[in-house]
Structure 1
């Protein structure tokens, strides 16, 4: 079954992803200038939420950009769970953001935070896909699912590494 992507919504999805990433990384970069412990936690949480909501928004806009030749609906409860998963996934990056702002990033911490973030993004993605109500339903190739999860983890590790090395 073939679908058609709306080019305007697809471009909007990319713009949302860029703005969310930029906002989150700028927020985490601000941490190096914050001296109050309380405000530091606020900036960490705000950066994580900005990225999580941005990732989810980019994903959902991309999903509605696709027009299929069958009727497609979305289960609101499962869609809401996918939003919560996106924010929780990025909350795992708080450790990395905190580390980035303090000047020390061990390989172990980078791998742990990147893996947690990547697994969370993958969980958000597949939960969002489960929210789709359509007949016939989606049939997954397990090898491709595993590859997509590996890519999410690798991209998360790379993003956190870049955030650390490009912070100044």
Structure 2
């Protein structure tokens, strides 16, 4: 019953990578569901707010999409550093989130159509390191995993500071929802 499925070794790495990249958008939605708007912008000096994390993810997704496009269309492309966007406080979270979903959809549409030869194409990063498009996509997947861990950590910190659990433990919360901060 607890043995590995027989086909687990036959699933190509590219399929697993693409499925994880596809799952990121829904994972973000699930993690931010139930948070009040002010909680999305609440951060500390040590930990960025969820809005800042998403804004950074938008900038990263734009850079990676351009890298995939250039890697596919140019011979020996050299990627530039992404230009930082406007201040995170000047950006609208809903627009950033929608922009991330749109960019991710474009990235997935492009990467899904890569052949083995396309995944093997090489790009040169700004620091001079050369990577295949496959490795670049894996790097994006790792960034996604880190982003999701950071959002989860922020959400746990926000929930711990909301005081709902203390009210529920004392039996005085009544029918208060999970998000008392609203």
* Larger RCO (CA under 8 A, 6+ residues apart): 2
| TM-score, normalised with respect to structure 1 | 0.30
Larger radius of gyration: 2
How does the TM-score come out when normalised to structure 2?
0.29
Answer 1 or 2: which has greater helix percent: 1
